[in-house]
């Protein structure tokens, strides 16, 4: 799919998926504080389920055949002229390819401006003494380095860029003010994406203990994958 085919996204709506859990070809729970790296083939569907509610799922996407071509937050929000991600959002890469499309969303909106927590940003945001607390970018690096070591495809800190925060609610006001609000998600809510290209997905299931938006309680999420329908 090409960027030229894009239209301005429709108004935010909740969209349920027709796919049944029993038909999934992949089903795994990712605990809070863990990373998860997996390739989603073109045409496959991936669902992320917020099992207990208001969990932030920090996620990066790459063209599986060229990691330099990766998810771009700015290109994604500009293409739809809206800063929130929901059903209909096309996730655009730095080289302007459509990596995936959000095809179902029972949460309503997701953030892509707040980034992923890190040991270093926690020092700035909360307290210099917070450096040793677990953080998303520790998980991203662990997942990336492990993937690199096991597949031989180089993936490291240079590849960590602005991510999607599924289930996170980060409103931007007309004044420019940006805040972290309590989540709009709830137990069992999910988001589902269709891969438009072979896509590598890296998830950090956020371990943040300093932010009230997850009630200071990071929880597990579930990843389901379906094959492309046989036509």
For other proteins, the binding residues (CB under 8 A) are 3-4, 11-12, 67-69, 72-75, 77-78, 81-84, 94-96, 109, 113-116, 118-121, 123-125, 127-128, 137, 157-163, 172-180
Which C-beta is closer to other proteins: that of 132 or that of 175?
A: 175
109: tokens are 């909106």
Which C-beta is closer to other proteins: that of 64 or that of 224?
A: 64
CB of 228 to other proteins, least distance (A): 27
CB of 141 to other proteins, least distance (A): 11
- Residue partners of 18: CB distance under 8 A and separation at least 6: none
Alpha-carbon distance of 12 to 223, in angstroms, equals 23
Which C-beta is closer to other proteins: that of 65 or that of 96?
A: 96
CB of 225 to other proteins, least distance (A): 27
Half-sphere exposure of residue 196: CA atoms within 13 angstroms, side-chain side: 19
CB of 40 to other proteins, least distance (A): 21
Q: Are the C-beta atoms of 224 and 33 separated by less than 8 Å?
A: no
Alpha-carbon distance of 127 to 130, in angstroms, equals 5
Cα end-to-end distance, the chain, whole Å: 18
């Amino acid at each position: 799919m090409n960027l030229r085919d894009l239209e301005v996204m429709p108004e935010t709506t909740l969209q349920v998926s027709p796919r049944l859990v029993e038909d999934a070809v992949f089903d795994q729970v990712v605990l809070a504080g863990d990373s998860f790296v997996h390739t989603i083939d073109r045409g496959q569907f991936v669902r992320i389920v917020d099992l207990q509610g208001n969990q932030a799922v920090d996620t990066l996407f790459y063209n599986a055949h060229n990691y330099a071509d990766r998810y771009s937050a700015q290109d994604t929000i500009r293409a739809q002229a809206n800063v929130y991600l929901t059903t209909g959002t096309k996730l655009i890469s730095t080289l302007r390819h459509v990596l995936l499309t959000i095809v179902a969303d029972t949460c309503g909106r997701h953030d892509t401006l707040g980034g992923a927590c890190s040991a270093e940003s926690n020092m700035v945001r909360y307290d210099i003494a917070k450096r040793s607390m677990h953080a998303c970018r520790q998980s991203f690096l662990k997942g990336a380095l492990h993937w690199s070591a096991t597949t031989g495809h180089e993936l490291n800190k240079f590849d960590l860029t602005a991510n999607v925060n599924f289930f996170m609610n980060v409103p931007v006001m007309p004044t420019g003010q940006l805040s972290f609000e309590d989540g709009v998600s709830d137990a069992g809510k999910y988001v589902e994406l269709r891969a438009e290209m072979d896509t590598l997905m890296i998830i950090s299931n956020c371990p943040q203990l300093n932010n009230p938006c997850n009630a200071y309680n990071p929880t597990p999420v579930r990843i389901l994958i379906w094959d492309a329908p046989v036509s």
